[in-house]
Structure 1
């Protein structure tokens, strides 16, 4: 999810509510890398709306101090120049996460 933390937090909130209302089960948030920062933000920003809908939060390698390697990749002349590849990866990752969450609640 290569958008701002605020935008991603809103999208994650929407996913949580969709899964919760579709299943009636609390959602386990399992995130890697920047997704960990975004998911922590969603809980901070929307806690009053989500407190009964989230079971737990598990993070792996979340870059709370930033990631120089990731920043360098997105610089001009690097992978960041390939906008279509970045967009494809963003769509793919978002869909995989949504499917993963759907299977977690089964």
Structure 2
């Protein structure tokens, strides 16, 4: 009987980890999709080029930019962070969520 209880607990823990990694545990903010503040931010800085990217497993802002450029990033990381936050209404690069679409700066 102890063995069955331990087995069930292990299954619950493994499923919880899988679910957390696959879908996340925080609710997504739907306001971010069509946020007028983001559109204003883009229009107020026309010199900052960007592209839209849907986040896949394993993506980071730096890896996405490096992949797009096929080389290393020519600006300081602090600049990348500031530009990403500017384009995405203050969202920190380390807070990106799987499946969401973000504006990624082009250098």
> Is TM more than 0.5 here?
no
TM-score normalised per structure 2: 0.26
Flag the structure with larger Rg.
Answer: 2
